[in-house]
């Protein structure tokens, strides 16, 4: 009788396993702990998602997640296929400006780091939004925040000063400091 019970249990596990593997986290109903199960989402990003959702209403697509402070192109790439935006909705692809063609690597992995001085790298004091998006971890929303901060507070003295921009923290600065310049 025991082998039959084990066989029934195994059959039940195999029957439900595909459904579990396909289940996506609904970012419009998920709790902080559910969001933290996603790759690249720790407590601070989970809280930022919840606060953004509470302030702005439900997310409709990946492009909405890009507007959350601390969420950039590489995080969006990690979340593709793992999140949904309502009852059974599939995950939408990241916006073209954030990820490029589907076969392209995420921007955080694309270019090799460049020196911070001289003519190489993106000059964060003169760059346009599209040029800023060439920096690792900088998507449309962070590029806009950099421009707004630069307009309001003046030029950056160093690339490390980007931490004064809302939504850009030490991890983002560490990932792009070798790819940017200020002169």
3.40.50.1100, 1.10.150.320, 1.10.1660.10, 3.40.50.150: which CATH number matches 122-181? Answer: 1.10.150.320
Question: pLDDT at position 15, please?
Answer: 55
Q: Does the structural domain 2-91 have CATH classification 3.40.1110.10? A: no
Q: What is the pLDDT of residues 93-149, one digit of tens each?
A: 444 444 444 444 444 443 444 343 445 789 999 999 999 998 888 888 899 999 999
Q: What is the pLDDT of residues 49-80, one digit of tens each?
A: 998 899 888 988 888 888 888 888 888 888 88
Q: In the chain, list all ranges with CATH 1.10.150.320.
A: 122-181
Contacts of 43 (CB under 8 A, 6+ apart): 32, 36
Question: pLDDT at position 128, please?
Answer: 94
Question: pLDDT at position 147, please?
Answer: 94
- 142 in Cβ contact with 172 (< 8 Å): yes
For the segment 18-37, the average pLDDT, to the nearest whole number, is 76
Instruction: Read off the pLDDT band of 23 (50, 70, 90).
Output: low
- 124 in Cβ contact with 159 (< 8 Å): yes
């Amino acid at each position: 009788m025991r082998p039959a019970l084990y066989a029934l249990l195994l059959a039940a596990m195999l029957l439900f396993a595909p459904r579990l593997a396909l289940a996506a986290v609904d970012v419009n109903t998920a709790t902080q702990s559910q969001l933290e199960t996603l790759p690249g989402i720790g407590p601070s990003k989970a809280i930022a998602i919840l606060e953004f959702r509470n302030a702005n209403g439900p997310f409709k697509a990946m492009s909405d997640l890009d507007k959350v402070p601390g969420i950039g192109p590489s995080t969006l790439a990690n979340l593709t296929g793992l999140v949904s935006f309502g009852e059974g909705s599939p995950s939408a692809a990241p916006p073209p400006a954030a990820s490029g063609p589907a076969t392209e690597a995420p921007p955080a992995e694309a270019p090799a780091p460049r020196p911070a001085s001289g003519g190489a790298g993106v000059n964060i004091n003169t760059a346009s939004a599209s040029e800023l998006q060439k920096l690792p971890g900088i998507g449309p929303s962070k590029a806009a925040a950099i421009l707004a901060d630069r307009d309001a507070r003046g030029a950056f003295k160093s690339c490390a000063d980007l931490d004064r921009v809302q939504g850009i923290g030490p991890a983002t600065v560490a990932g792009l400091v070798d790819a940017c310049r200020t002169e």
